[in-house]
Amino acid sequence: MPGIIYLSQIKLSSILNQEFFSGYTPKVAKNLLGCFLMREVDGKIYKGLITETECYRGRHDLACHAAKGKTERTKVMFGEPGRAYVYLVYGVHWMLNAVTEAEGYPAAVLIRGAELRDAQNEIVKKLDGPGKLTRGLKIGRSFNEWDLTAGEKLWIEGGGDFKKRKIIKKPRVGVDYARHCKNWKWNFRLR
DNA sequence: CGCCCGATGTGCT
DNA sequence: GCACATCGGGCGT
């Protein structure tokens, strides 16, 4: 299992499992802050400390793609938690989401920002924006429906002391069309 | 900082 | 066929 560090039987870092993703989406979105988005490319492992996430939840959420029902594109959001939902916006940018909640309930967390860190945990590059993030980590359509809990190619590991850092809540980005839902403070950012 | 607009897959008509 | 989109880079203020 890649990336797991054990010290005197204490698990310091671990791959997030399906149970983690099966929770209430705003809570999962907040808990993902400070976790590490891991990506393996040609045998090299890259890690990004997640700094910004956004919650999309249920058919009643007009900003959520599932509000328009289950389609070929959105069906993965109705599936099992812990899968990746990857789609294209504006014909240019790939968006990486983690599917959440119980199977059958459509919801996901959009990963909007991360800090690429080296082995010394120093910031190498800021991937501040969902499109920049997928470009920086070479994530594209092939990862749609990817099992993020398997610990291969693309997965997420629990963070350390991130809960001590303050979380800023704001309305979601780019969803002005979503009527009353656009005001919901479901964008979460680490300060 | 704000505005503009490319570039194209998706879903509806 | 066509309107619209979970954006980002570039340029002007």
3-state SS assignment for residue A78: helix
Q: Are A16 and A148 in contact (CB under 8 A)?
A: yes
Direct distance between the N- and C-terminal alpha carbons of chain A, in angstroms, rounded to an integer: 31
Whether CB of A75 is under 7 Å from strand B: the answer is no
| DSSP-derived 3-state class of residue A163 | helix
* Residue A12's pLDDT band (cuts 50, 70, 90): low
- Is the C-beta of residue A53 closer than 7 Å to nucleic acid chain B? no
Chain A span 81-100 residues with beta carbon within 7 Å of strand B: 87-88, 90-92
Report pLDDT for A13. 67
Q: Report the C-alpha gap between A34 and A32 in whole angstroms.
A: 6
Q: Band the pLDDT of A171: cuts 50, 70, 90.
A: very high
**pLDDT tens string A116-140:** 999 999 999 999 999 999 999 999 9
Length of chain A, in residues: 191
The yes-or-no verdict on residue A162 having pLDDT over 80 is no
Buried b (16+ CB within 10 A) or exposed e, A119-132: eeeeeeeebeebbb
pLDDT of A177 reads 87
User: Which helix (H) or strand (E) element contains residue A125?
Assistant: strand A123-128
- pTM equals 0.91
The arithmetic mean of pLDDT across residues A149-153, rounded, is 96
